[in-house]
Amino acid sequence: MAVATPTACCTTNLGHPNGRGPHRVTDHGDAGAAEDGRATKAEPDPRGSIRPRLLAGIAVVLAAAGIAFVAQAVLEPGAGDGTDLSELTFDRFDGGAGTLADYEGTPLVVNFFASWCPPCVREMPDFQEVFEELDGQVVFLGLSQDQSAQAALNLVERTGVTYDVGWDPDLEVYEATGSIAMPTTALVSPTGELVDTFAGALDAESLVEFIEDGLGIAARP
């Protein structure tokens, strides 16, 4: 598991106000990038998970001490390298459901993003650049963690990305990788197994290095 630099991550999985998904936390490196520039208080997770509430408490303590809280992608017990992700489903924007099995046979890069996450938005042009450079050696799939599919569609239109993008409304794929940060990028083998995850934003050079190290793809944009 790779960990981002201190300013790279903008969220931890503390639960949306409606009780689902990654909860937004202001990225102070982008003044005004979050909707009102303020961190939003997390609501309790109705599914009864202790882990998100514990992480929320840690974040509050660190913030009070003036220490930068670095969100990290942590693999849940049993969700390490080799976890089979092939049967996980997501919603396609062109209609119907997709599964990661649809991409079997080719290495897959899955990027978890949200329109309210400034680092997510910043890295999307870099992902597009690497997607074009690798030219089919690796398949890219962006999965929105937004509360609505329309928010993701608007972002895709604004950034101009052309790789596959879908919606992960129940966080099925996101949670299967054990991620608690936004953005997070996961590498999946041609047989549908989890290879590695990276928490935080990636520029084109760092993304290529991550792909080369994890999937053995030799390419430099």
**Which amino acid is residue 177, in one-letter code?**
T
Residue 3's pLDDT is what? 46
**Average pLDDT score over the chain:** 74
- Extents of the domains making up the chain: 89-215
- By three-state DSSP, how is residue 183 classified? coil
Return the pLDDT at 130.
96
Q: Superfamily for 89-215?
A: Glutaredoxin (3.40.30.10)
The structure tokens listed for 51 are: 């882990």
Q: Cα–Cα distances in Å, from 126 out to 12, 18, 98, 175?
A: 23, 31, 25, 24
Do the Cβ atoms of 104 and 86 come closer than 8 Å?
A: yes
Burial environment of residue 111 by CB neighbours within 10 A (0 to 12, 13 to 18, 19 or more): buried
**Higher-pLDDT residue of 46, 173:** 173
Higher pLDDT, 22 or 136: 136
Contact (Cβ atoms closer than 8 angstroms) between residue 112 and residue 185: yes
Strand order in the sheet with 108-113: 2-3, 194-199, 184-188, 108-113, 139-144, 164-167, 89-92, 97-99
Structure token digits, residue 112: 């978890």
Whether this model's pTM surpasses 0.75? no
Q: Return the CA Rg of the chain.
A: 16
Averaged pLDDT for residues 87-92: 95
pLDDT (tens digit per residue) in 142-160: 999 999 999 999 999 999 9
Q: How far is CA 204 from the centre of its chain?
A: 16
Q: How many CB atoms lie within 10 A of CB 77?
A: 6
